[in-house]
Chains A and B, each alone.
Chain A
Amino acid sequence: MGQLFFVSRYFMFFFIPLLVVAVSAMFSERSGIIHMALEAVMIWSCMWGVLCLQWLDGIVVGQLRLIIALLFSGVMGIILTMLLGVASINLNANQTIVAQALNTFSPAFCIFFVRFLQTGSEHINIRNDFMINKIPLLSDIPIIGEMFFTKIYITNFIGIAIFIISAIVINKTRFGLRMCACGENPHAAESLGVNVQKYRYAALVIAGFIGGMGGLMYIIPVSTTFSQTVNGYGFLAMSVLIFGQWRFKSLIGAAAFFALCMTISNSYSGIPFLAKLGFPEAFYKSLPFMLTLLALVFISKNDKAPKASGQPYDKGRR
């Protein structure tokens, strides 16, 4: 039983950030912009978030420190995403190349900046006192209480809240539906008086904020140091979105699938059954990426991607 609790806790550490970052990609893609720079946004805003945690250490105590840092990394996420926005909305850039530029920029700049701040070392240590050991009442529920409500982080709840609110915003509100129209058929949307550029910017601001928070959410539970990498999480989140077919309902299942892969790859040595199989470490470490490819093979043949996603919007066309 202890094993199950251990695994389920680990599972949540991976599940929540995957879900959150996939939601971030959802906003951007549904509005018509392919967001391949999630990795960059995560690394960049994670660095700022972790630095913010350091600055606040001793000034603010408890969960408030984490929440402020989360908001700060969200804001920094917006800034980096705007680079993608300006290039792809106003300057008709090739979105994949812009994203690649950001993906190169982000780790390089972070190493440069952190080494400068700490004179040489590129690892930032995080003093992590955010774990909530017990929640009154909820933790006392048998099994489920032990699985999901003990030794958890506040990010779990924030992540789920983000997911639910985003689902409502995109599927039920006027803003969300118009935004989706910009991703499906921007010319039709424009003809009905929707300002496509404005909606795409709005979508990217939200995507940047959520993606930025996702970066910090990923690093807080699993690590006590930040070393300018989020281990391909941005791209995994992108795959979650594709595997979830750009729909919120299937997103949960997709994120759960990938989180399970990540859990296996990170905790296999603690699970006797897997440790005994005798595969090399490299196999388990690369398992999420191999399974991602496999999953994409099955799903990509007829995908339901937003039709205008990735194309620069040209008012003059048709």
Chain B
Amino acid sequence: MSVKTKKSFDITKHTGLLASLIAIVCGLLIAFIILMLTNPAKGVDAFMTIITGGLRMGGFKNIGTLLFFATPILCTGVAMCLAFQAGVFNIGGPGQFSIGAFVAIVTSLYVSKDLPAPLSWMIPVLAAMVAGALWALIPGILRAYFNVNIVISTVMFNYIEMYYILHWISLTCYDALKGQTRPVPANCKLPQLFMPALTQNKASDIGILIAIIAAIIVWVILEKTKLGYELKACGKNPDATRYAGIKSKRTILISILISGALCGLGGALYHLSWSGVYITFKLGSAPEGFTGIAVACLANNNPIGAIFGASFLAYLTVGGNYMQIFGFQKEIVSVITSIIIYFSAFSLFMRHGIERLLLKGKTKDANELEEENT
């Protein structure tokens, strides 16, 4: 009897994971079909490169690249986890991410260049978090006090950011020759510590560690504090929480502030890294912000799960970067990401379906057992 209860406990616990796996499999399958339809001759090779390329093509060095790609999307993913749990659909990830990146670059160039070591990179990171939070705060205020649809307002802010960031870059840190932002001073980049030795990649730094710490902190906030309880309650049923005496407006503001700060952190960690990325002077929004949504979906809005979700999507991105060899575009990874989001959207439905299937199997087993006994 005790075995039985343990079994059912396990099933309900893991349906979320199972649903995410189904979403991943569906995403990969549809990508495979698209690849085969567009170019049957090279489709299989290209697909195998997406799946195994992260390890096969570049060897161990790719682990460093993987962590580098995982860092920003882990930050935005955790940001989305928190916002979604609070029922705030923060689609403004790209905007908050780019604002964070821009502010980090500018503060490193103008403020912290001559400061001693820990301050020189901490100040830009903190400034980026503040900037991201402030950029997210306005849609939050509009949502809390004026009932403006948060999806629309955050998207509008993405577009405003898209146009204004080019203007601001051209005023402050534009490198006209290369058509991108000026490089960040070396002493403002994130410390590398033991990371290059660990990953065998010269460009590795502690960005991923900071992102993981952020994820753990958010997990603690959500699961172990009163604030986290209020956020989650607000996401589940805003009316009930209001009757229970939780200030829902304050909760919305806090959740979007943290969410924006995390997106800003992602932008800072990405652009203060040793891999040398720049904001190119081209109209467009940062894809890392949207990938964060996929990370949150894969992780079922659990910040710890986001670590694995981000690693997986970064792994696909590393493989996707080899697509050019086969005459395909790396956008296929975004296609996979979007399909994963799509299937995650009805993960609740899938989970009920899985539970029903499993329970059906179980009752069958029980019936058979009974028959055997008699």
Q: Is A97 an interface residue (CB 8 A)?
A: yes
List residues of chain A with CB within 8 A of the CB of B354.
Answer: none
Asked if residues A93 and B147 are in contact (CB atoms below 8 Å), the reply is: no
Q: Is A54 an interface residue (CB 8 A)?
A: no
Asked if residues B89 and A239 are in contact (CB atoms below 8 Å), the reply is: no
Q: Is A100 an interface residue (CB 8 A)?
A: yes
Asked if residues A297 and B151 are in contact (CB atoms below 8 Å), the reply is: no
Taken together as a complex, chains A and B put the C-alpha atoms of A301 and B332 apart, in Å, by: 41
Choose from A101, A112, A280, A289 the contact partner of B342 (Cβ within 8 Å). A101
Asked if residues A105 and B345 are in contact (CB atoms below 8 Å), the reply is: no
Taken together as a complex, chains A and B put the C-alpha atoms of A293 and B34 apart, in Å, by: 38
Q: Is B167 an interface residue (CB 8 A)?
A: yes
Q: Is B290 an interface residue (CB 8 A)?
A: yes
Taken together as a complex, chains A and B put the C-alpha atoms of A301 and B144 apart, in Å, by: 10
Choose from A108, A119, A285, A300 the contact partner of B148 (Cβ within 8 Å). A300
**Size category, A interface:** 35 or more
Choose from B38, B159, B341 the contact partner of A286 (Cβ within 8 Å). B159
Asked if residues A108 and B334 are in contact (CB atoms below 8 Å), the reply is: yes
Q: Is B293 an interface residue (CB 8 A)?
A: yes
Taken together as a complex, chains A and B put the C-alpha atoms of A109 and B333 apart, in Å, by: 10
- Main secondary structure on B side of the interface with A: helix
B23 CB to closest chain A CB (Å) equals 10
Q: Is B229 an interface residue (CB 8 A)?
A: no
Taken together as a complex, chains A and B put the C-alpha atoms of A282 and B342 apart, in Å, by: 33
Taken together as a complex, chains A and B put the C-alpha atoms of A97 and B341 apart, in Å, by: 7
Taken together as a complex, chains A and B put the C-alpha atoms of A235 and B339 apart, in Å, by: 21
Which partner residue on chain B sits nearest A228 by CB separation? B331
Interface centre among A105, A231, A281 (most CB of B within 10 A): A105
Known: A282-B166, A289-B159, A296-B142. A238 touches B152 (CB 8 A): yes
Asked if residues A87 and B342 are in contact (CB atoms below 8 Å), the reply is: yes
Q: Is B60 an interface residue (CB 8 A)?
A: no
Choose from A113, A293, A296 the contact partner of B38 (Cβ within 8 Å). A113
List residues of chain A with CB within 8 A of the CB of B293.
Answer: 97, 100, 104
Which partner residue on chain B sits nearest A122 by CB separation? B329
- Which residues of A are at the interface with B, using a C-beta cutoff of 8 A? 36, 83, 87, 91-94, 96-98, 100-102, 104-105, 108-109, 111-113, 115-116, 119, 231-232, 235, 238-239, 242, 280-282, 285-286, 289-290, 292-293, 296-297, 300-301, 303
